[in-house]
C-alpha cells in the first residue's frame, strides 16, 4: 500500500479520476482532519473502497510525548517500518489580549521537523549523529509531522505555523523528498503554509544549496556554520572536508532570497572553542556583502559531550560586537532543554529508550 501523503495534489489527480476528487481528498485530510476513508462522505463508495485497498494516510504513530517547563513539546514517532524520529512543537508567543480581555493576537508556533532517520553528517557536538544514518524520510512522513502536531494541539487550520527543517538529519541530503514535502505544505488545498514560513537548515552542502535555490521554492535558508575557519569547522563538522567555508559563502551569495528576508547563520557557541572576539571579527568578514542574520545558540550539553555551555557574558560580547558592525544578531534561548528537545539533542530511539 502507498502513503497518500507522499503525493502532491497534481500527482493524485493523475491517479484518481475525475481530477477534482484529488482536491476533495486533500481537503478531507488536511483541512477536516478525518481519520479514515469512510469519513470522506462526498466521495463515492467505490472510490472510498479503492482508496482503502491501495492507500493509507497515517504513517506516524505517537509513541511518546514530553512537555518542557517552557511549554515546548517533543514527540517520538514510530514509522511504518518500526524506525523512530522526533519532532518538536515550540510555542514562540502566547495569545495577546487588550485591556478589555479581547484577543488581539493569536499564539505563534514553530514546528521543528525531521527529514531523515538518523544523520550521516557526524558533527561532533550533535547527539543525532551518534546513532548513524538509517534512511531518508518520504515526503509524506515529513508532512505528517506538522499535520499530526497541529491536529494534536488543536491549532486551527487557518492558524499558520512556522516550519523549520532542523530536526533529525540533513535536509539537503534528502532534497527530492524535501522539495516535494514543501510543495505539499504550500498547496492551498492542503495545509497552505507559505514557503516564507519554512526554513531549511543545512550543515553547508554547497552544491545542494545551489540546487535548492534553482528549484525556486521560496523557502528561507539557514546555515549551520559554528566556526569561522576551516580547521575548527572540520573538527566540529566533518562535512567541511567536502564543503569548506568559502564554497558555502559562494553558494549562499547565489541563493534567491526574498528582499524582506535574510539568510540565517546558526552559530552554536561552545566555551573556549569558538566564542572569542577574534572569532567574531572573522565572522564579520565572512558575511561581508551577504544579507545575513546571525543566531547565537548556547551549546546544549548531552551525555558524553566534550564541549561546555558558554558563559553568558561571552555570548553578549560576541553579539554586541557583531551588532556594532551592522550585522543583525540575536542570542537564541534554546527551548526544551529539560526534555532534550533543543538543537543537537534529537535522536532515533532504540526500543529500550522508548519507555
Q: Helix 139-152 vs helix 175-186: angle between axes, to the nearest 10 degrees?
A: 40
Contacts of 188 (CB under 8 A, 6+ apart): none
Beta strands in the chain (DSSP E): 2-3, 55-56, 61-67, 73-78, 84-93, 96-97, 103-105, 108-112, 116-118, 133-136, 162-165, 198-202, 220-224, 263-269, 292-298, 328-332
CA 327, CA 335: separation in Å to the nearest integer? 24
329 belongs to the catalytic site: no
Return the HEC string of 28-73. HHHHCCCCCHHHCCCCCHHHHHHHHHHEECCCCEEEEEEECCCCCE
Q: Tell me the three state secondary structure of residue 75.
A: strand
Phi, psi of 127 (to 5 degrees): -70, -30
The set of cell numbers assigned to 192 is: 497552505
Pick the catalytic residue: 10, 86, 96, 250? 86
Could you list the residues known to form a binding site for S-adenosyl-L-methionine, using ranges: 169-170, 201, 224-226, 300
- The residues facing 86 across adjacent strands are 76
Could you list the residues known to form a binding site, using ranges: 119, 123, 126, 169-170, 201, 224-226, 300
343 belongs to the catalytic site: yes
Could you list the residues known to form a binding site for [4Fe-4S] cluster, using ranges: 119, 123, 126
Pick the catalytic residue: 112, 144, 266, 343? 343
Which residues are the active-site residues?
Answer: 86, 343
Amino acid at each position: 500500500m502507498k502513503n497518500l501523503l507522499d503525493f502532491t495534489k497534481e500527482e493524485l489527480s493523475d491517479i484518481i479520476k475525475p481530477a477534482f476528487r484529488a482536491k476533495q481528498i486533500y481537503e478531507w485530510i488536511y483541512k477536516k482532519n478525518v481519520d479514515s476513508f469512510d469519513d470522506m462522505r462526498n466521495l463515492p463508495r467505490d472510490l472510498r473502497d479503492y482508496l482503502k485497498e491501495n492507500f493509507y494516510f497515517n504513517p506516524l504513530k505517537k509513541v511518546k510525548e514530553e512537555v518542557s517547563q517552557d511549554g515546548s513539546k517533543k514527540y517520538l514517532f514510530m514509522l511504518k517500518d518500526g524506525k523512530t524520529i522526533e519532532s518538536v512543537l515550540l510555542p514562540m508567543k502566547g495569545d495577546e489580549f487588550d485591556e478589555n480581555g479581547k484577543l488581539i493576537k493569536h499564539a505563534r508556533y514553530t514546528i521543528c521537523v525531521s527529514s531523515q532517520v538518523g544523520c550521516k553528517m557526524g558533527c561532533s557536538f550533535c547527539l543525532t549523529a551518534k546513532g548513524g544514518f538509517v534512511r531518508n524520510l518520504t515526503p509524506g512522513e515529513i508532512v505528517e509531522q506538522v499535520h499530526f502536531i497541529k491536529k494534536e494541539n488543536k491549532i486551527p487550520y487557518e492558524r499558520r505555523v512556522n516550519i523549520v527543517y532542523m530536526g533529525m538529519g540533513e535536509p539537503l541530503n534528502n532534497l527530492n523528498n524535501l522539495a516535494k514535502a514543501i510543495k505539499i505544505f504550500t498547496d492551498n488545498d492542503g495545509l497552505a503554509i507559505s514557503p516564507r514560513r519554512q526554513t531549511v537548515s543545512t550543515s553547508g552542502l554547497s552544491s545542494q544549496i545551489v540546487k535548492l535555490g534553482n528549484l525556486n521554492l521560496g523557502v528561507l535558508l539557514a546555515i549551520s556554520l559554528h566556526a569561522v575557519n576551516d580547521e575548527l569547522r572540520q573538527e566540529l563538522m566533518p562535512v567541511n572536508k567536502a564543503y569548506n567555508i568559502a564554497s558555502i559563502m559562494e553558494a549562499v551569495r547565489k541563493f534567491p532570497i526574498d528582499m524582506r528576508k535574510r539568510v540565517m547563520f546558526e552559530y552554536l557557541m561552545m566555551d573556549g572553542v569558538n566564542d572569542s572576539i577574534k572569532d567574531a571579527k572573522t565572522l564579520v568578514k565572512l558575511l561581508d556583502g551577504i544579507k545575513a542574520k546571525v543566531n547565537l545558540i548556547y551549546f546544549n550539553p548531552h551525555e558524553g559531550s566534550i564541549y561546555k555551555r558558554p558563559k553568558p557574558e561571552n555570548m553578549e560580547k560576541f553579539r554586541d560586537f557583531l551588532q556594532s558592525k551592522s550585522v543583525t544578531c540575536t542570542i537564541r534561548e534554546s527551548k526544551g532543554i529539560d526534555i532534550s528537545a533543543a538543537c543537537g539533542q534529537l535522536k532515533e530511539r532504540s526500543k529500550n529508550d522508548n519507555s
